[in-house]
Amino acid sequence: MRQRGLSLIELMIAMMLGLVIAAGVGSVFQSTRQTYRSVESLSQLQESARSTFELLSHDLRQSGLGICGDTSSIANVLNGASGNAFFQWVGLMGFDGEMAAPRITTGSGTGQRVAGTSAIQLQGVTGSGFAIANHMAASTSFKINAIQTDFAAGDILMVCDVSQATLFQVTHYYSSTLTVKYETGAGTPGNCSTGLGFPSNCSSTLGNPYTYGPNASITRFLSTIWYIGNNGRNTDGGQSLYRLRLGENGNLVTEEIVAGVNNLQIRYHERGANIWSNAANVEAANNWSVVDAVELALTFESAETQVSIDTTHNEGRLQHNVTLIIALRNRIQ
């Protein structure tokens, strides 16, 4: 009788070939999936680095007076300015990992600064501002030469000309007439005097009188601190780049800017020097006013885990180290 079908040996060989093919397909699929995750992680790291550079460099380049030049004659009529680092004019100031930064707690809580990381305080003005048509000092008001502005009551503004600048708070804004008022006794923190001259005099409501001429500039005051903070999300690596900024009515606003940034170390270049210095050395020499460039060393981590060959570090996340050097356009000579 003629034998039909497969022998046991043939069946076993066929099964073995099937298993080999299935294993090969599975291996290719797993390899492709891992490659895809790695490429996605690299793309995320590059995007994080690009976003950090664009956003942080914007504030860095704006630090200093910008449209107002780099004068040291800055009057400040904000109430409590001497006790609030966000109201005091510093232009730029840095903090090494072991140095405390104003109004920021170092710890493990969400939004708190990561120990051992640098922070930097930046102050300046936003945009190109507006020209003043008329300063009516007797009625504590400015008439703006513009079609419209985005000013509002509670805003902290800076007005300047070639001789001096003044920090003050808007108490009323009339959009129909483009008029900014800056009385005392209103708003938070409010103004200590209506005299906008340098040096400031808060001993009376009239203060040190000064009248800005036509075409003086007026714009919103920028005051921020950038730092690395805990974001409370392990899926994003646990740390992010944060910004603490001065908002309306003197309130401080904490903003998470870029996730997956877990380290920031900063060095500073002083005009005429041939070395980079840390914040402690610049502070000791009282040289913040001559810092003309900043070096930022940042470490980024991927959100995806188990994509690095080093699986012992933070669940195998990819790391990307970036060093940026940014010149302060308002201090370049």
In this prediction the pTM is: 0.85
Q: Give CA–CA dist 43/121, Å, rounded.
A: 30
Q: In the prediction, which pLDDT does 115 show?
A: 98
**What was the pLDDT predicted at 123?**
93
Q: Taking 60 as the threshold, does the pLDDT of residue 1 lie above it?
A: no
Report pLDDT for 3: 58
User: Does the pLDDT value for residue 13 go beyond 90?
Assistant: no
Domain count, the chain: 1
Q: What pLDDT shows up at residue 21?
A: 76
Range of the domain at 138: 68-327
Q: In this structure, how many other beta carbons lie within 10 angstroms of the beta carbon of residue 11?
A: 11
User: Within a domain: residue 62?
Assistant: no
Q: Quick check: is 2 in a domain?
A: no
Let me know if residue 239 belongs to a domain: yes
Mean pLDDT of 259-267: 96
Domain-embedded: residue 208: yes
- Of residues 64 and 84, more confidence is placed in 84
The verdict on residue 121 lying in a domain is: yes
pLDDT over threshold 60, residue 73: yes
On the question of pLDDT at 303 being above 70, the answer is yes
pLDDT for the residue numbered 194: 97
Q: What percent of the chain has pLDDT over 70?
A: 87
Average pLDDT over residues 100-115: 97
Tell me how far apart the alpha carbons of residues 267 and 230 are, in angstroms, rounded to a whole number: 22
Task: Inform me whether the pLDDT recorded for 289 exceeds 60.
Answer: yes
Average pLDDT on 271-276 reads 94
pLDDT of residue 308: 65
Contacts made by residues 169-178, CB under 8 angstroms, sequence distance 24+: 169/78, 169/250, 175/148, 175/149, 177/143, 178/143, 178/144, 178/145, 178/146, 178/148, 178/149
pLDDT given for residue 276 in this prediction:
98
Q: Which of 94-98, 212-216, 235-239, 249-253 has the lowest mean pLDDT?
A: 235-239
Residue 227's identity, in one-letter code, is Y
The pLDDT of residue 33 is above 70? no
Q: What average pLDDT does the chain have?
A: 88
Average pLDDT over every residue of 41-69: 83
Residue 6: its pLDDT value, please?
59
Give the pLDDT of residue 282: 98
Question: Once rounded to an integer, what is the mean pLDDT over residues 138-145?
Answer: 97
Token pair in block for residue 159: 């007005």
Question: Which region among 29-38, 59-68, 107-116, 297-306 has the lowest average model confidence (pLDDT)?
Answer: 29-38
**Cα 165 to Cα 158: distance, rounded to the nearest angstrom:** 7
Q: For residue range 149-189, list pLDDT tens digits in order.
A: 989 999 999 999 989 999 999 999 999 999 999 999 988 99
Residue with tokens 């060989």: 13
Query: Do the domain assignments include residue 117?
Result: yes
* pLDDT value, residue 245: 96
Lowest mean pLDDT among 15-19, 89-93, 108-112: 15-19
Identify whether 253 is part of a domain: yes
Residue 7 lies in a domain: no
- 116 phi and psi angles, rounded to 5 deg: 85, 0
> What's residue 235's pLDDT?
81
